[in-house]
Amino acid sequence: MASSSHDKVHQEHAEQSTLTSNTNANNYNGSSATDEIAMADLPAAIVEKGPQLVDTKVPFLTWRSVVMGLFVSMGGFIFGYDTGQISGFLQMEDFLYSFGTWNGSKYEFTNVRSGLITGLLSIGTLIGALVGAPIADRIGRKWSISWWCIILCVGLTVQISSPHGKWYQVAVGRLIAGLGVGALSLIVPMYQGESGPRHIRGALISLYQLFITLGIFVAYCIDFGTEAMTNSASWRIPMGITYLWAIILGVGIIFFPESPRYDYRHGKVDRAVANLAKIYGIPQNHRALAHEFEEIREKYEEEKSHGNITWWMMLSAPRMKYRIMIGMLLQALQQLTGANYFFYYGTTIFQGAGISNSYVTQMILGGVNFGTTFLGLYNIQHFGRRKSLIGGAIWMFVCFMIFASIGHFSLDRETPANTPGAGKAMVCFACFFILGYASTWAPMVWAICAELYPSEFRARAMSLSTASNWLWNFLLAFFTPFITSAIDFRFGYVFAGCMFAAAFVVYFGVIEGKDRTLEEIDTMYVRKVKPWESSKYVFPENEFEPTSGRTNGNGKEEPTQEHIN
């Protein structure tokens, strides 16, 4: 009964919050007088700039928003670099000699050993994602990033110092490094989502995925450059370079501002206003900023009325169990696309398909992955989340069906050199698959999970969805050698089936967040807006929708750039 009452109060407050702030904005672009927002309720940093709010056009991009998005995405680069380098290590002569087993004719990795060396990183990342949430809430987003970069360096030191035969030290080092990678995979999109202007928030968060793909590609290139070495430098050089990326991010983030929403929640309101104004490139007394902080204030007042946040409170809040389920399911399905089937075991896969130099093939896949992620940035801004995810799922379904069919029915798996055409066709459809993945599911799942949850629960809820990603990452990394040994390339049919299911999950479960503030998205979930109607959803009559500005032919309001959409 108490939970039901709490849900009702939360929903009524969310609806009243939207009614108040949105009605106040009806004259968003047309009134020169102070609008209906109570100036006394606005932060002092806005009020002291003048008795009236200004309505100048909001820039689409500012150098601060670009630099913030690019630099903080180094967290994604580190993730991608670590993911990409292990694929090459598994085929390097000295790595095999140092940590593999002798089978009577050559050194090789058993399924268990390769699965643990590859997969324990994901166990570390799962733990890091869960532990990272309370730390980010306590010490802030930017200082958390620095801290986890230090942990990453500790894990690297354990790995790179592994002596001959101590394969388990490499695995433990990857587990420790995974703590840092996992926490960064939670905090970086959170920081970008809380700091970025609403009209480019999706693209900013998607930069995280772009840098993941860049990291993978750079790792492939460095592996290709060192794989011919016959000593430990072949793998220690690529591994050691990771220190550089961690130091750049860990030290550089110190010179960036804290997330405005984190600052606001911790009493540093004037600093939050100043920093968000700089990111938007507008004066502090701009009407757009006033409306955004009015929304933030109302949500924060609601949070304070709930008292100290607990896990039970989060789970009992309106539609939070549903949203947590959606976030965890999306992250699981991102792994079940099968992308890491190629990224973790690509050199092994294509060697088995008869490709003479699988390192070159990996570089090609990495290049396609990086290049087509730019298409993802375009898609998320122009087509939104839902259309892109559904279209991407269908595309990947087709690609994996063809890839698996060629690998099982056309390829001579005993002597792949006898069927070179089949091997090349598999590489081709792997590239087509990567195109679909990199331009849809790779960047957009991170963007959706960063905007699914209200501010008071965001860190904890995102930690659960991110942990889901890493759990499935580990399961795939560990079990792929066993599964491919049993069913060969038919493993692709499993991924294809998951993509077919993913399209239904998105259609029936995910609300469109394009051109919405984080606070609006929260209200839409609370109101149980039908996902398939969410892209055209407008608030009831007499309520202002912050993304509105002009009407279309049917009398419904459409977003305009001037209104920060």
pLDDT digits (tens, 9 = 90+) for 97-114: 999 888 878 888 888 888
Residue whose tokens read 């099982």: 408
Is 544 part of a structural domain of the chain? no
Residue whose tokens read 């090459």: 88
- Give dist(CA 306, CA 299) in Å, integer: 11
Is 552 part of a structural domain of the chain? no
Same domain, 303 and 315: no
Same domain, 302 and 401: no
Region 106-128: what's the mean pLDDT?
Answer: 86
pLDDT, residue 539, reads 67
User: Of the residues 267, 288, 307, which one is the last residue of a structural domain?
Assistant: 307
- For 458, the token pair is 């965001």
What's the number of CA atoms in the CB half-sphere (13 Å) around residue 100? 19
CATH number at residue 60: 1.20.1250.20
Is 52 part of a structural domain of the chain? yes
Looking at every residue in the chain, the average pLDDT score rounds to 81
* % residues pLDDT > 90 (the chain): 28
Same domain, 268 and 330: no
Region 120-131: what's the mean pLDDT?
Answer: 87
Region 311-340: what's the mean pLDDT?
Answer: 91
Is 3 part of a structural domain of the chain? no
Which residue type is seen at 230?
Answer: T
| 356 vs 97 pLDDT, higher one | 97
> Do 352 and 486 meet the contact criterion of CB atoms below 8 Å apart?
no
Same domain, 242 and 352: no
Is 420 part of a structural domain of the chain? yes
| 269 vs 243 pLDDT, higher one | 243
Predicted confidence (pLDDT) per residue in 128-153, tens digit: 988 888 899 889 899 999 999 999 99
Cα diameter, the chain: 85
The DSSP bridge partners found for residue 551 are 557
State the pLDDT confidence band at 450, using cuts at 50, 70 and 90: confident
Which residue type is seen at 39?
Answer: M
Same domain, 267 and 407: no
Predicted confidence (pLDDT) per residue in 57-74, tens digit: 888 888 888 888 889 889
Same domain, 497 and 526: yes
State the pLDDT confidence band at 8, using cuts at 50, 70 and 90: very low
pLDDT at 386 over 50: yes
* % residues pLDDT > 70 (the chain): 83
Is 4 part of a structural domain of the chain? no
pLDDT, residue 433, reads 94
- Give dist(CA 18, CA 14) in Å, integer: 6
Give pairs for 52-55: CB < 8 Å, separation 24+.
52/285, 53/285, 53/286, 53/287, 53/290, 54/283, 54/285, 54/286, 54/287, 55/28, 55/29, 55/286, 55/287
Same domain, 323 and 300: no
State the pLDDT confidence band at 13, using cuts at 50, 70 and 90: very low
pLDDT at 464 over 60: yes
Is 545 part of a structural domain of the chain? no
Bridge-based pairing state of the strands 101-102 and 107-108: antiparallel
pLDDT at 29 over 90: no
Q: Is 155 exposed, middle or buried (CB count within 10 Å of its CB: 0-12, 13-18, 19+)? A: buried
| 385 vs 56 pLDDT, higher one | 385
pLDDT, residue 322, reads 94
pLDDT, residue 180, reads 94
Same domain, 76 and 197: yes
pLDDT, residue 545, reads 43
Region 171-179: what's the mean pLDDT?
Answer: 94
Is 31 part of a structural domain of the chain? no
State the pLDDT confidence band at 44, using cuts at 50, 70 and 90: low
Same domain, 301 and 341: no
Same domain, 441 and 342: yes
Bridge-based pairing state of the strands 107-108 and 557-558: unpaired
List all residues 6 or more positions away from 90 whose beta carbon is below 8 Å from its beta carbon. Answer: 96, 109, 114, 117, 118, 345, 347, 348
Predicted confidence (pLDDT) per residue in 404-445, tens digit: 999 889 888 777 778 888 888 888 898 999 999 999 998 889
pLDDT at 507 over 80: yes
pLDDT at 176 over 90: yes
Number of domains in the chain: 2
**Which range is least confidently modeled, 42-46, 91-95, 543-547?**
543-547
Give the domain range for residue 361.
310-534
Q: Helices then strands (H, E): number in the chain?
A: 23, 4
The SS3 of residue 297 is: helix
pLDDT, residue 2, reads 43
Same domain, 288 and 355: no
Region 517-522: what's the mean pLDDT?
Answer: 83
pLDDT at 16 over 60: no
Same domain, 214 and 283: yes
